[in-house]
Amino acid sequence: MKQLITVALGAALSFGMAGKAHAAPAWCAAFPHSSDSYDLKDLSAPDVIKVIETYVRATCTPSPEAEANRAQIDAGRQAWSKKLDMSDDDWADAVDFLTLGQSDRINGQVAIHRDGSDGQVKRAWSGYDPLDQWAMITSGVGAPDDLALDRHYLVDAFGAKLSAVGRAAYVKRCIERSDGNPVEWAMCQGDIAQLDYARIAAELRANKQYTGADKMHVRLAINELKPALVAHAARVKALVAKDPGYGKMFEVAAATREDWVNRYKSDAALLGLVAAMDDARATNSRKAFAGCEDDTWVAWKAALGSIPAKAFEGMHDDRERAHRFDEDAMGPLLSNPKVYLAAVALTTCMTVGQDRTAHVDVLVRLLSSAMQRWPGFRGPRTGTEAALMTTGITLDDRDARLDYPEVHRSFAGIRQTSLTLSGGGSGVVASLKPSGKTVTVTFKQQLVKQVQCAERKTTNRINQITAGGSVIYETTCVRNETVVVDKASSPQTVNPRYLEGVKPGMDVSILEDVVVWARVKPGSPSPSIVFGVALK
């Protein structure tokens, strides 16, 4: 009797016709010749793994029924090869996959190859192969502060080395939640548009580092991704139709992607330096960090020097109100992609790249703190989030709001430094006196008249009892006098790299050993030097 079996593709195969026995494909050699029975009806099972297993069994250990219907089974398997972007030889991967236990098949995780007996992954990101990228993006391993766990930053860091497999992993993570985040959808829309299934198949086929089972895990995940993308496209279309604000969001994302096409060329050297620092952090290699102090400082000067002085117009210290210049200045600094990238490189070098006992100056600490929660501009995805935050998109629904992915990037790693500040001074420079590796800055006198108490009288009213039990009585002033005092700050010891261009007569503000800003003269609306860099 003829038996009709509908396979998952929707095609119908007719069994019962006589067929000649033929040799099994070479890839069947690794398949255990089990006596377990199987049912050809499972070729149309809803469980894709069951379908694949049945095709392998029917091909490698054919029953009389399977042998009799060899041509139809081969045609069905070829259809599944097309569906999964597999060549005939790729079915060796399916054989390897079927040697896994049931739980490992269903789990679907690809574990990244770890380095050394300590189980850490100390490998340069630039050297990740496609399956390394898939494993890290879809699962991730590392300490809580490991930037590799931040998939938006990580994928941006791959840059031009992002593989088709890695891109698919990023898209999968982006759309897999039914209650997904529209901001993230905008961030990954450009990757959806660039998905290349033929290239994914080629990358999997060429990979020799991971097992066939790992490759099948990826193929099965891609098979699930394809219909999910169709549903996602409908979801995005409905979202944009519902509120024009969402349409604007995707327009900003597209414009940001286009901007990065040019930025990859114009900022190639700077991006290469940041990539080198990302690699050095990932490997924790002394050799990789060697010489980074000079390289990252040169990059910092070039990037900051491109900002016009007018960007800092009106920004001053207000020490009486405990307000610092940097609290206003970090916005203009880190909203500039070049400065942001240079800051990432500098901060990484001067913290993770140094011995734990090394001094971390206040500029590096300020940058590290300011960048922790800022999406920044590591690439088009993080750049899209930053652009959306600064564009000010308004949704028509007053109860709706855009939820941005949470950012917490500790560029300083375990050397994340405190922002507790100590010391500093300000005023007109009187002299610069080099002394060894530092320079002492002295200030011109600031003579002012003050009324001070010249004589006090102790009363019998208790004002305070100290923790040690001492009684402090209230005092009153019985005689004042007018005196002249010098309000100039005490001499400051400064790192000479922050004094380039600073001359006597300039008005400066110093925090610890860093010249935060310098003006040509007191009262100038804009600083001419910020954090050791002359502005245009």
Which pLDDT tens digit goes with each residue over 470-484?
877 777 777 877 766
pLDDT surpassing 70 at residue 274? yes
Question: What pLDDT, on a 0 to 100 scale, did the predictor assign at position 418?
Answer: 64
CA distance 151 to 136: 8
Helix (H) or strand (E) holding 91: helix 91-98
User: Tokens representing 413?
Assistant: 């790693």
Question: What pLDDT, on a 0 to 100 scale, did the predictor assign at position 9?
Answer: 39
| pLDDT, average across residues 375-402 | 93
Q: Are 441 and 508 in contact (CB under 8 A)?
A: yes
pLDDT surpassing 60 at residue 61? yes
| pLDDT, average across residues 33-48 | 86
Question: What pLDDT, on a 0 to 100 scale, did the predictor assign at position 19?
Answer: 47
CA distance 383 to 365: 23
First-to-last C-alpha distance (Å) of the chain: 88
Which letter does DSSP use for residue 425 in this model? E
Question: What pLDDT, on a 0 to 100 scale, did the predictor assign at position 92?
Answer: 97
Q: Please give the backbone phi and psi of residue 115, each rounded to the nearest 5 degrees, phi first.
A: -110, 125
Q: What percent of the chain has a predicted confidence (pLDDT) above 70?
A: 89
CA distance 134 to 164: 10
Question: Mean pLDDT lowest for which of 146-150, 167-171, 291-295, 454-458?
Answer: 454-458
Question: What pLDDT, on a 0 to 100 scale, did the predictor assign at position 4?
Answer: 34
pLDDT surpassing 60 at residue 444? yes
Which pLDDT tens digit goes with each residue over 389-399?
999 899 998 88
| Residue closest to 208 by CA, chosen among 116, 92, 121 | 92
Q: How confident is the model at residue 201 (pLDDT cuts 50, 70, 90)?
A: very high
| pLDDT, average across residues 354-370 | 91
Q: Are 446 and 487 in contact (CB under 8 A)?
A: yes
Which pLDDT tens digit goes with each residue over 490-534?
999 999 999 999 999 999 999 999 999 999 988 888 999 999 999
Question: What pLDDT, on a 0 to 100 scale, did the predictor assign at position 1?
Answer: 29
CA distance 443 to 297: 27
Question: What pLDDT, on a 0 to 100 scale, did the predictor assign at position 144?
Answer: 67
CA distance 527 to 308: 10
pLDDT surpassing 70 at residue 108? yes
Domain boundaries, the chain: 3-107, 125-265, 271-415, 422-446+487-536, 447-486
Question: Mean pLDDT lowest for which of 51-60, 320-329, 343-352, 393-402?
Answer: 320-329
Helix (H) or strand (E) holding 276: helix 268-283
Alpha-carbon distance values, 205 to 112, 172, 192, 222, 397 (Å): 18, 20, 22, 15, 48
pLDDT surpassing 70 at residue 18? no
Locate tokens 């604007």: which residue?
A: 248
Packing angle between helix 268-283 and helix 292-304, nearest 10 degrees?
Answer: 140
CA distance 220 to 15: 27
C-alpha of 473 from chain center: 59
199 contacts: CB under 8 Å, gap ≥ 6? 164
**Residue 199 Rama label (left phi>0; alpha psi -120 to 50; beta):** alpha
CA distance 383 to 509: 32
CA distance 94 to 485: 86
| pLDDT, average across residues 203-223 | 97
> How many Cβ atoms sit within 10 Å of the Cβ of residue 394?
11
Q: Please give the backbone phi and psi of residue 376, each rounded to the nearest 5 degrees, phi first.
A: 70, -155
